[in-house]
Amino acid sequence: MILPFTLLRRLDCVLEPTRAAVRTAAAKYKSAPEKTRDALLMKAAGQRFYNTSEYSLAELLKRPEDSNANFPAYMSGFSVNVKDILYNFSGGEEKGLSPIYETLQRKRLLFKITRAFAEIDLSPASVDNHGMGTIFEYLIRKFKEASNEAAGQFYTPRDIIRLMVKLTIEPDREKLAKERLIGIYDPACGTGGMLTIAKEYLLGGINPGLEVYLYGQELNEKTYAIAKADMLMKGEDPENIKRENTLSHDLLPGKQFNYMLSNPPFGKDWKNIREEVEAEHELGVAGRFAPGLPDVGDGAMLFLLHKLSKMTPQGSKIAVIFNGSPLFNGDAGSGPSNIRRHIMENDWLDAIVALPNDIFYNTGISTYIWLINNRKPAARQGRVQLINANGPEFYSMLRRNLGKKRVEIGEDQSAAILAIYEGFEETKVSKVLDTAEFGYTKVTVERPLRLRYDLSVEQRRAVRLDPIVLKLKDSRADELDAALEVVAKRAPWNDDGQFLAAVTGALPWKLTTGIVKMLRGTLGVRDEAAEPVHDESGQPVPDSELRDFENVPLTDDIEDYFRREIQLHACDTWMDRTKDKVGYEISFTKYFYEYTPLRPTSEIAAELLALDEETENLLREIAKQ
């Protein structure tokens, strides 16, 4: 109840000077069209919201015996945008506004709570928009920290957001000092923390005169209400915060943004919107998801594709938090690999920063910040920087755990990570790689089918019972059986070509392709010592059971690689280049692996002997007692 009542009290204080004017305007324009009336009442209020009722929290206290009856009238008098916030605080419009106050009514606490909040001065003269935003954000943080499970899904720790903002915005400091206006967007905005921290960073340390427009979309009702209320508290346009599933319904179509920040849910499936997403994928470049679709069990990469669709041609930057899956999941040609390929081949991936473990409220897994830029500086073009900020020098231990969050990134540590990013050099914790380093061609490697023909009685009986043979006309089935009996006398056959030639020679008619296939499948036994099987054109027939695949780095010549790594060890292999697929994966840990040599056996043996002696001494001491 604290958050909605804080909002109500602030709105009361802001609207107090124009309450009478709004009620007069409400009566005057009672029959005006809804949109026109709404605009006129906002004009009368001098704000982007209003309340047409005769009540405020303070007014409700004047008639304590009627407060339960008057409270619904007070809340119903708010403008549509405020009621939208209140509805979502209570779980949706279908539930009405009553959940906000009915529990307090039932427990006879409504009057006491109303009186407590009415005594707080939240007028603009006492608390400006920035201060009000700070108060509201403090309350949000406290409630989220008290409910750590929910915090992990809807609330990104502030230390991570500050790092994301620094990495995204700080390199543009000189350019931003000259800008007039920019737009910042979060498609999974939760309570809106990323948006507000980004704006504070811009106005507080880079360009106080910059006009910053904040936009967000959120699915969860309560966090949407908090985000929209927070915007209202801070004097932002609350209509820029939308509530709907971003992946199925983009409520900001056609909008493009300078900066985009987000922490989409980890491992959340998109089964319930599969139809809409797949339909948009079928639109190709006319939709957001043309490059590919990730596994239906995890929609995180769909948020990235959504943001890519909102980049401006003049240049946009994206910072998004992922777990480890988007780095490498999916084989060449799969949706995730094709998404990575789309980003890499457009040279949009700028850097990936590995965060410390145990930095989120409800998970200790490895997490990464991906930095995307469609206008990379010349020095960074064609290359990707990997930063391993997972070591102890990049975090501090919390004095008290917050759920599973045990560590935080301090200001000095955040500055150190930024310095590594801006340094763009090879160090122990920074690797700079060509984009092609992450790509490979998946090549199909074939080996020939080798068959031996024993022609046992059981095998020949299976031939007679095969559907193809049973359908043969006239006496052909008997003729085939007789031919096989003749050929069986010279078994085993280790050469498929000679075997088929012998069968054909014993028949008064020519073997069809279907019968040849049947004979190989029914009579043939795989044998490495046999000769390769060839098709009608003389080409070797591949053995599907021996088929293999090689991931050849894009930086390597495929033919050279094949001769060097494969054919040298298996001379009968060949490549089927018609099945080539290009894939991309980022094996992050591979680039930071440090070999730790095993301890000498003599050292380990000495320790074991020492422990053994210590144990014997303890036993002797016990025996003496």
Per-residue pLDDT reduced to its tens digit, 126-142: 888 777 777 877 777 67
pLDDT > 50? residue 152: no
* 44-53, 83-92, 288-297, 359-368: least confidently modelled range: 83-92
Determine the average pLDDT of the residues in 583-607.
88
Query: In this structure, are residues 472 and 480 in contact, taking their beta carbons and an 8 Å threshold?
Result: yes
Q: Indicate the range of 25-29, 160-164, 500-504, 621-625 predicted with least confidence.
A: 621-625
Higher-confidence residue of 1 and 347: namely 347
* pLDDT tops 80 at residue 146: no
Q: CA 604 to CA 610: how far, in whole Å?
A: 10
SS3 of 167-236: the string is HHHHHHHHHHCCCCEEEEEECCCCCCHHHHHHHHHHHHHCCCCCEEEEEEEECCHHHHHHHHHHHHHCCC
pLDDT for residue 190:
86
In the predicted model, is pLDDT for residue 147 greater than 70?
Answer: no
Residue 5 pLDDT > 80 = yes
Q: Provide mean pLDDT across the span 574-596.
A: 92
Please report the pLDDT score of residue 245 as a whole number: 96
**What number of other Cβ atoms are within 10 A of residue 440's Cβ?**
21
Helix pair angle (457-464, 513-523), 10° resolution: 140
Q: What's the pLDDT score for residue 92?
A: 60
- The CA radius of gyration of the chain, in Å to the nearest whole number, is 36
Residues in the chain: 625
The pLDDT score that the predictor gives to residue 46 is 87
CB atoms within 10 A of CB 566: 18
- Distance, in Å, from the CA atom of 154 to the CA atom of 147, rounded to the nearest integer, reads 11
Q: Which amino acid is at 121?
A: D
Torsion region of 436: left, alpha or beta (phi above 0 gives left; psi -120 to 50 gives alpha): alpha
Q: What is the pLDDT of residue 93?
A: 61
- Residue 584, beta-bridge partner list: 439
Better-scored residue on pLDDT, 103 or 544:
544
User: Are 114 and 75 contacting, i.e. CB atoms less than 8 angstroms apart?
Assistant: no
Q: What pLDDT, in 10s, does the model give residues 462-508?
A: 999 999 999 998 899 999 999 999 999 999 999 999 999 999 999 99
According to CATH, the superfamily of the domain at 129-442 is: Vaccinia Virus protein VP39 (3.40.50.150)
- Residue ranges covered by each domain of the chain: 2-118, 129-442, 448-526, 595-624
Angle formed at CA 157 by CA 156 and CA 162, multiple of 5 degrees:
100
Task: With cut-offs at 50, 70 and 90, classify the pLDDT of residue 150.
Answer: very low
SS3 564: helix
Which residues make Cβ contacts (< 8 Å) with residue 324, sequence separation at least 6?
A: 365, 366, 367, 368, 588
SS (H, E, C) 74-107: HHHCECHHHHHHHHHHCCCHHHCCHHHCHHHHHC
Give the list of residues 6+ apart from residue 515 with CB closer than 8 angstroms, or none: 468, 469, 480
Report whether the peptide linkage leading into residue 492 is cis, meaning its omega lies within 30 degrees of zero.
Answer: yes
Whether residue 95 is predicted with pLDDT greater than 70 in this model: the reply is no
Q: Which range in 20-34, 39-53, 452-466 is most confidently predicted, on average pLDDT?
A: 452-466
pTM of this structure: 0.84
3-state secondary structure 480-528: HHHHHHHHHCCCCECCHHHHHHHHHHCCCCCCCHHHHHHHHHHHEEECC
Most confident of 112-126, 134-148, 541-555: 541-555
- Assign 352 to helix, strand or coil: strand
Burial group, residue 489, by CB count within 10 angstroms (0-12, 13-18, 19+): exposed
Is 375 a residue whose pLDDT tops 50? Answer: yes
The DSSP output letter for 284 is G
CB atoms within 10 A of CB 484: 22
- pLDDT tens string 302-320: 999 999 999 999 999 999 9
Strands 317-323 and 259-262: parallel
The predicted structure's pLDDT at residue 144: 63
CA–CA gap between residue 474 and residue 393 (Å, rounded): 86
Average pLDDT of span 208-212: 93
Give yes or no for residue 90 having a pLDDT over 80: no
Q: 């400006």: which residue's tokens?
A: 128
Of the chain, the percentage scoring pLDDT greater than 70 comes to 96
